Structure 1
């Protein structure tokens, strides 16, 4: 058994996909599969169950993952210590959909303050040492460090404002809703939509697209306040029933083997 096999195992375990793991390690799929096979032979047990799409992990793999993830992190950290002094520490953060730019900018500024000289790598996807996301999107094996708590508001076209100080009542069935039925927040918002949610004016896959529809005059949507405030052509009104969401860092304990992430975690202050 060697370090390359351990890295291959960790990548496949976390990606649940041979192709994605090979791309992450910049290896060919045959080379990655070969490393996994050699590790399974050395251990005398199957670690993954190959399927048509991706892989499933075995109980032995679940038991092995924390140990090998720690060993890989320690080896990587050891290698970093002997690199040239002018080499920057890297911190990769995946940014989920529907996180306001102001929140991304706050996190970037905080990372630079906590880790001087850090080389930030932001990804518009679910990847990295940590993810900037809403708490609803936290994976089962992840910890959550809150950065921002914000309310949901009613977003409507600027030319169709409700009267001053009017609140959007849950029983308002005259609203032409724009809904996001595949979004993690949809079930929480259903009581406010009411019966009209069965035949909405439009559908969107995320809040940002829903706000584009609002600005175009298609209808109204319930969205996080930070996103609505940044969208031209959109005005907001408070909801009668207060709903909030939390945005923060999602990360695995093992990822703290990256010293830059550990220092960011210890130094960040909620907005």
Structure 2
């Protein structure tokens, strides 16, 4: 007994007619009759009573019907799962430390819409076929596809008053550009990344200038634009030129080219 026998049984059971069932399965009527007879012989029971117009189902057929439905459905689901896996296009994407969760979510939505059957793997850091990162951190020989341009904003703990005390990132690429905004303020804390600054500010240690995407959804922070400041950063897809030889990345690049995401 195989799935072919069970599909034939289901068709005859539901149609109550050999001819109609054969048409439904796109097989010849004699072929279907032989298939049903083989199933009956293997089970040792009569499943159908042939009549002049159609067939009647036996009690054994009524018992078999729900089991046959379940077995055929499971076989079809298994087949689909393997076909889907084989058809998926794999892409490994690194995520730099200072990329906001909201931006990662937005990129995943864009990518899965742009590339059908995408199998996306997210990794930490500058690894993978490409990475979601800041333009300022791209290497000279890499390509950059901008998706966001966002301002730096003034952030402090919710409910706190503005103070001239700052949490900074001395090793970060943005530090030199931000120094002029700190003025004579006291640097009360240092962090290794802009992401690490966020909890320090939320805890009330001091204020900070941070990309808007890192602070706008944080319940422990309040923020406002920096008056007179044009300080921004661009976030997007960074990758080596030869990586476009990967069909999945080339397809993604073509789909997102020139797109500006809100």
Q: What is the distance in 2 between the residues matched to 1:231 and 1:216? A: 12
Report what 2:105 is aligned to: 105
Encode CA deviations 1:135-193: one digit per residue, 9 max, x unaligned: 1111111011000010000100111145xxxxxxxxxxx51000000111111111101
Does 2:124 correspond to 1:136?
Answer: no
Q: What is the distance in 2 between the residues matched to 1:115 and 1:218? A: 44
The equivalent position to 1:221 in structure 2, one of 208, 222, 225, is 208
The equivalent position to 2:239 in structure 1, one of 251, 257, 262, is 251
State the 1:114 CA deviation.
1.5
Report what 1:195 is aligned to: 184
Q: What is the distance in 2 between the residues matched to 1:232 and 1:129? A: 34
Report what 2:166 is aligned to: 177
Tell me the secondary structure at the aligned position of residue 120 of structure 1: strand
| Regions of 4+ moved over 4 Å | none
Report what 1:44 is aligned to: none
Q: What is the distance in 1 between the residues matched to 2:218 and 2:175? A: 21
Q: What is the distance in 1 between the residues matched to 2:158 and 2:84? A: 53
Is the CA contact 2:84–2:117 (under 8 Å) kept in the aligned structure 1?
no
Alignment of 1:153-168 (within 5 A): 153-162=153-162
State the 1:232 CA deviation.
2.0
State the 1:115 CA deviation.
1.2
Tell me the secondary structure at the aligned position of residue 205 of structure 1: coil
Tell me the secondary structure at the aligned position of residue 107 of structure 1: helix
Tell me the secondary structure at the aligned position of residue 261 of structure 1: helix
Larger radius of gyration: 2
Alignment of 1:224-235 (within 5 A): 224-235=211-222
TM-score (norm: length of structure 1)? 0.62
Structure 2 residue ranges without an equivalent (≥5): 1-82
Tell me the secondary structure at the aligned position of residue 140 of structure 1: coil
Q: What is the distance in 1 between the residues matched to 2:251 and 2:113? A: 10
Structure in which a larger fraction of residues adopt strand: 2
State the 1:86 CA deviation.
4.2
Report what 1:270 is aligned to: 260
Q: Summarize the Cα distance change of 1:86–1:201 in structure 2 as closer, same or farther, 3 Å threshold.
A: closer
State the 1:222 CA deviation.
0.4
Q: Summarize the Cα distance change of 1:232–1:85 in structure 2 as closer, same or farther, 3 Å threshold.
A: closer
Is the CA contact 1:152–1:245 (under 8 Å) kept in the aligned structure 2?
yes
Q: What is the distance in 2 between the residues matched to 1:195 and 1:161? A: 18
Q: What is the distance in 2 between the residues matched to 1:201 and 1:119? A: 44
Q: Which moved more, 1:147-156 or 1:237-246?
A: 237-246
State the 1:230 CA deviation.
2.3
